[in-house]
Amino acid sequence: MNTKLLHTVLFAWFRKHGRILPWRMRELSALYKVKKIGKTKVSVLRDSTIASYFTTKWNRDPYTIIVSELMLQQTQVDRVLPKFESFIHKWPTVHDLSKAKLSDVLIEWKGLGYNRRAKFLHEMARAVVHTHKGNFPKTEEELRKLPGVGEYTARAVLTFAYGKDIGVVDTNIRRIFSRIMFGTEAGQTNISTKEFFAVIDQSVPSGKGDPWNQALMDFGALVCTAKSPKCDNCPLQTVCIANLSAQKHGFRNYADSLAAKNKEINAKKVSATKKIPFEQTDRYFRGKVIDILRDGPQHMEKLYQQMEHDYTLHDKKRWGNIIESLMIDGLIAIRGSTVSLA
**Torsion from C-alpha of 292, 297, 302, 304, nearest 10 degrees:** 50
Does residue 36 carry a pLDDT above 60? no
Residue 119 within any structural domain of the chain: yes
pLDDT tens-digit readout, 270-283 = 655 567 888 999 99
Residue 22 within any structural domain of the chain: no
Provide the domain count of the chain. Answer: 2
pLDDT at 49: 75
Q: Taking Cα atoms as reference points, which of 200, 160, 166, 170 lies closest to residue 53?
A: 160
Residue 252 within any structural domain of the chain: no
pLDDT at 32: 46
Is the sign of the CA dihedral 126, 141, 113, 331 positive or negative?
negative
Percentage with pLDDT > 90 across the chain: 73
For position 298, which CATH number holds? 1.10.10.10
Domain of residue 79 covers 62-160
Residue 156 within any structural domain of the chain: yes
Residue 71 CA: distances (Å) to CA of 27, 61, 74, 164: 18, 16, 8, 22
CB count in 10 Å sphere of residue 201: 14
pLDDT tens-digit readout, 230-244 = 999 999 999 999 999
Domain boundary among 160, 183, 206: 160
Residue 213 within any structural domain of the chain: no
| Residues in the chain, total | 342
Q: Is 153 exposed, middle or buried (0-12, 13-18, 19+ CB in 10 A)?
A: buried
Does residue 28 carry a pLDDT above 70? no
pLDDT at 48: 75
Does residue 34 carry a pLDDT above 50? no
Domain boundary among 114, 131, 160: 160
Least confident of 17-31, 61-75, 237-251: 17-31
Domain boundary among 144, 160, 176: 160
For position 120, which CATH number holds? 1.10.340.30
The pLDDT mean for the chain works out to: 89
Residue 313 within any structural domain of the chain: yes
What average pLDDT does range 33-50 have in this prediction?
A: 59
Residue 249 within any structural domain of the chain: no
The SS3 assignment for 137 reads coil
CB count in 10 Å sphere of residue 276: 9
CA distance 63 to 69: 10
The SS3 assignment for 321 reads helix
CB count in 10 Å sphere of residue 141: 8
pLDDT at 103: 95
pLDDT at 60: 85
Does residue 38 carry a pLDDT above 70? no
Query: Of residues 69, 140, 141, 324, which has the active-site annotation?
Result: 69
pLDDT at 271: 54
CA distance 97 to 115: 16
Catalytic status, residue 69: yes
Contact 161, 59 (CB under 8 A): yes
pLDDT tens-digit readout, 286-307 = 999 999 999 999 999 999 999 9
For 341, phi then psi, to 5°, come to: -65, 150
Contact 190, 176 (CB under 8 A): no
Residue 70 within any structural domain of the chain: yes
